[in-house]
A = this chain, B = another copy of it.
Amino acid sequence: MKYEFNLEREYDMIAIGRACIDLNAVEYNRPMEETMTFHKYVGGSPANIAIGSSKLGLKAGFIGKLADDQHGRFIKQYMKSVGIDTSNMVVDTEGHKTGLAFTEIKSPEECSILMYRDDVADLYLSPSEVNEDYIKKAKILLVSGTALAKSPSREAVLKAVRLAKQNDVKIVFELDYRPYTWESTEETAVYYSLVAEQSNVVIGTRDEFNVMENVQVGNNEDRIRYLFNYSPDLIVIKHGVEGSYAYAKSGETFRGHAYLTKVLKTFGAGDSFASAFLYALVTGKEIDSALKYASASAAIVVSKHSSSEAMPTVEEIEQLIAEHEAKQYC
């Protein structure tokens, strides 16, 4: 089964949400207290997905707000350098800062992030900075859940979603749940449901779907049955090392498997999964094939130091898939 897009659009994907700075421990496998040097990368889920897609050859654009400082300028330069259209990345004029994520890598299993997300520039994107003329040039509007966490970014996204629907742009909702930016899980549930019901494709982990449903432990079947009453026709639920499921409204279910790899850290797995999955959909691959691209991409990124710069090429992904399938048939 393949997924159809409006082929006449200039951009394969326009992402909306945060573009931030990751400060990754240069000396790792230790507590951050003992890390004395940090390497700077562009980060933030929708930025990573746009970067990953762009490296895979998709034409990507970005709607977001940047701090008027050295970090903001670095982000814009970097995203431009990998081929992303940055014409709709606006600069904040009210002194808000760039979001930061210091990553701590104690071991491949023990990773944590020290976040600076209070009053950051990306959450100040306003509805007036979302342009219909831009959105209607896209096949896909990629919405990151975290961009719904605060006003006015929340309203900017709700406006973008409405404009996408009115202009036949497929809405892909990556749940990207980050508890620290939300007032309560109840609030998250309200907006996650609202946007999921209006989206065409919803992608998230099982835990993120639990947040949307405001339950401790939900199950996939109940949720997809509910969402298929609304706009979604493809729902991807990820279960970590147990792999992932893609459910189509038509009734088909596809199973994806995690690729074994040498893990350096777990950051960036979801973003690399999404970028390769969307690349595969847009280039007309079957959904079960898209899940392979997604898993291979994630496996590559978790073995490397960054989330953005580590995004693989098509060749790397296809090589890993080939190696993997060769092994299976030995």
Of A185-193, A240-248, A270-278, A294-302, which binds chain B?
A: A185-193
A187 contact from B23, B31, B114, B127, Cβ within 8 A: B127
* B residues in contact with A184, CB < 8 Å: 126, 152
Q: Given A71-B114, A104-B70, A118-B119, verify A183-B152 contact (CB < 8 Å).
A: yes
* B residues in contact with A69, CB < 8 Å: 114
* B residues in contact with A159, CB < 8 Å: 190
* B residues in contact with A164, CB < 8 Å: none
Decide: A186 and B128 in contact? CB cutoff 8 A: yes
Q: CA–CA, A73 to B97, complex, Å?
A: 24
A37 contact from B39, B71, B187, Cβ within 8 A: B39
Q: CA–CA, A37 to B35, complex, Å?
A: 12
A126 contact from B23, B40, B162, B186, Cβ within 8 A: B186
A100 close to B (CB within 8 Å): yes
The number of times this chain is found in the oligomer is: 4
Decide: A158 and B190 in contact? CB cutoff 8 A: yes
A32 close to B (CB within 8 Å): yes
Q: CA–CA, A190 to B35, complex, Å?
A: 41
* B residues in contact with A97, CB < 8 Å: 116, 118
CB proximity of A165 to chain B, nearest CB, Å: 10
A38 close to B (CB within 8 Å): yes
* B residues in contact with A186, CB < 8 Å: 126-128, 155
* B residues in contact with A35, CB < 8 Å: 40
Q: Smallest CB-CB separation from A157: which chain B residue?
A: B190
Decide: A36 and B40 in contact? CB cutoff 8 A: yes
A5 close to B (CB within 8 Å): no
Q: Smallest CB-CB separation from A190: which chain B residue?
A: B155
Interface residues of A in 73-114 (CB under 8 A from B): 73-74, 77, 97, 100, 102, 104, 114
A1 close to B (CB within 8 Å): no
A260 close to B (CB within 8 Å): no
* B residues in contact with A71, CB < 8 Å: 32, 102, 114
A33 close to B (CB within 8 Å): yes
Q: CA–CA, A86 to B69, complex, Å?
A: 35
Interface centre among A26, A36, A186, A189 (most CB of B within 10 A): A186
A194 close to B (CB within 8 Å): yes
A219 close to B (CB within 8 Å): no
Interface residues of A in 169-204 (CB under 8 A from B): 183-184, 186-187, 189-191, 193-194
* 12 interchain pairs, CB-CB under 8 A: A32-B74, A71-B102, A100-B116, A118-B118, A118-B119, A126-B184, A126-B186, A127-B190, A151-B183, A155-B187, A158-B191, A194-B194
Give the B-binding residues of A (Cβ under 8 A). 23, 26, 31-33, 35-40, 69-71, 73-74, 77, 97, 100, 102, 104, 114, 116, 118-119, 126-128, 151-152, 155, 158-159, 162, 183-184, 186-187, 189-191, 193-194
